Amino acid sequence: MSKKIVTTTKAPEPIGPYSQAVKAGGFLFLSGQVALIPGTSQLNTATITDETRQVMENLKAVLAEAGLNFSHVIKTTIFLKEMSSFGEVNTEYGKYFDKDFPARETVAVKTLPKDVNVEISMIAIATE
């Protein structure tokens, strides 16, 4: 089995030793994204809705680089700094899917990179 690294300048550069996404075995594994604005070191954290939208736009850019979109996503993981943000995050997240929602878990964690409020990772079906 081979793997292919997927990288785009339309999403934030990794802030550590990892790739934006890896395509392998018919799947695309997307690393967790936070609300970094691509090409900058700035965060879009004005509101939890803005933050979630930026995260989803970052994921959308990585999916697009691999020739995919949200209809290909089969699994997501949402990490929240505060579970009280769940409703607002869920509402914004849901706008990116039409139907046949992916499997998902949402967990509250003590801290996230750059002290953000939300991070989301995904797995999508991809053709080799």
Domain at 97, CATH number: 3.30.1330.40
Q: Residue 57: its pLDDT value, please?
A: 98
Total domains in the fold of the chain: 1
What is the pLDDT at residue 128? Answer: 56
**Tens place of pLDDT per residue across the chain (128 aa):** 789 999 999 999 998 899 999 999 999 999 999 999 999 989 999 999 999 999 999 999 999 999 999 999 999 999 999 999 999 999 999 999 998 999 999 999 999 999 999 999 999 999 75
Position 65 scores a pLDDT of: 97
What is the residue range of 112's domain? 3-125
φ/ψ (deg, to 5) at 67: 75, 25
Q: Count CA atoms within 13 Å of residue 101 on its CB side.
A: 10
Q: Which residue has the tokens 């954290």?
A: 45
